[in-house]
Amino acid sequence: MSVSAAERLERLLYILPAAAREGGAPVSELATALGVEARQVLRDVEELVNRDFYHTAGGAEDIQVTVQPDRVTIRTEEFRRPTRLSPREAAALGLALRVRASESDDVVADRCRALAVRLEAGLAALPDDALEEAVAVDPGVGADRGLRLVLEDACRARRVVEFRYVKPGEADEEQRRVRPYVLAGAEGHWYLLGWCERAEAVRAFRLDRMVEAGPTGPDGAFEVPEDFDPDAWLGDGRLFLPGEAVEEVEVAVRYSAAIARWILEREADAEAEADGAVVVKHRVADPDWLVRHVLQYGAEAEVIEPASMRARVRGAVGGG
């Protein structure tokens, strides 16, 4: 999810219950509470309505929205009762807010921590001190903003970083000293690409396997080689390891008319069909990515060709 999409979702989570109260909510009030202009509130509400009609993920069928020039009213059964979370649910949500705070700038971090405190105090029904201790997040060594931002700063300043790293399948940590070139997101994880002094080569390190990362002193300055190309490591949403052979296959996927509008917003080369469906030809280097991509749309997407990819998706759902 991009930053703008995440912010829009956060605003909608505020707008929905606020506008569901008796008489709705003034647009100006919502805009002030969210710190945005009134027209942004209306765009967010429009996005909510549009998703109801063309996105099949569900969850908005019972929501009725009325937009007047100065007021938004939402009618739904979903907000007739106050939200009640179990202690475990409240702790999990509070933890998520604190994780975001540990990775954000000061303004966002303060907002997230304040929301976490309100959540824990109002919904969890547990002693504040005990819950605070249970969900506290270590912000990382070298800064109060979290591991990823520590590494971002090191990449920007061209400073060597040191960290302990746990390799897959290993129980013991290894000390690493790396020249950080770039941070990359792929397959749901953040990676640091950089020159590992131990391996004497460029390596990729998953951030969730790092422990206590921090920059070295001024003697750790370096320059990124001119021939380093991060695109050689990334493709089709995944990260490729050194020496891994990559062979792309063109795969045609047909998306039904029910989600065609959703797909057209994201795929510039989609070809429309007479019944309203669209066909997109993807260049696929990772068959597992294709399986995940198609299955997320359920019956609304199918692989047309090649036959080998159709069989792979069919096998993933137990169709032989």
> What are the pLDDT tens digits along the chain (320 aa)?
444 556 777 787 788 888 888 888 898 999 998 888 888 888 888 777 665 444 444 444 456 677 776 788 877 655 555 555 666 667 777 778 888 887 777 888 888 888 888 776 655 445 555 545 544 544 444 333 467 778 888 888 888 989 888 876 666 788 899 998 988 877 667 788 889 988 888 888 888 888 777 777 666 688 888 888 887 777 655 666 654 444 668 899 999 998 888 888 777 778 889 999 999 998 776 777 788 888 888 889 999 999 988 988 888 776 55
What is the model's pTM? Answer: 0.38
Please, which residues have CB within 8 angstroms of residue 97's CB and are 6 or more apart in sequence?
A: 112, 113, 115, 116, 119
Asked if residue 310 is part of any domain, the answer here is yes
Q: What is the CATH number of the domain that holds 213?
A: 2.30.30
Q: Are residues 172 and 199 in the same domain?
A: yes
Residue 222 domain boundaries = 147-239
| DSSP codes of every residue in 146-214 | -HHHHHHHHHHHTB-EEEEE--TT--S-EEEEEEEEEEEEETTEEEEEEEETTTTEEEEEEGGGEEEEE
Q: Are residues 8 and 71 in the same domain?
A: yes
Asked if residue 82 is part of any domain, the answer here is no
Asked if residue 141 is part of any domain, the answer here is no
Q: What is the CATH number of the domain that holds 18?
A: 1.10.10
Asked if residue 140 is part of any domain, the answer here is no
220: amino acid identity, one letter: G
Q: What is the pLDDT of residue 278?
A: 93
Last residue of a domain, one of 186, 204, 239: 239
Asked if residue 80 is part of any domain, the answer here is no
Q: How many domains does the chain have?
A: 4
End-to-end CA distance of the chain: 33
CB atoms within 10 A of CB 256: 19
Sign of CA dihedral 35, 39, 40, 46: positive
Asked if residue 142 is part of any domain, the answer here is no
**Tokens 């429009």, residue located:** 46
| DSSP codes of every residue in 14-56 | HHHHHHTSTT-EEHHHHHHHHTS-HHHHHHHHHHHHHHHHH-T
Q: Are residues 176 and 218 in the same domain?
A: yes
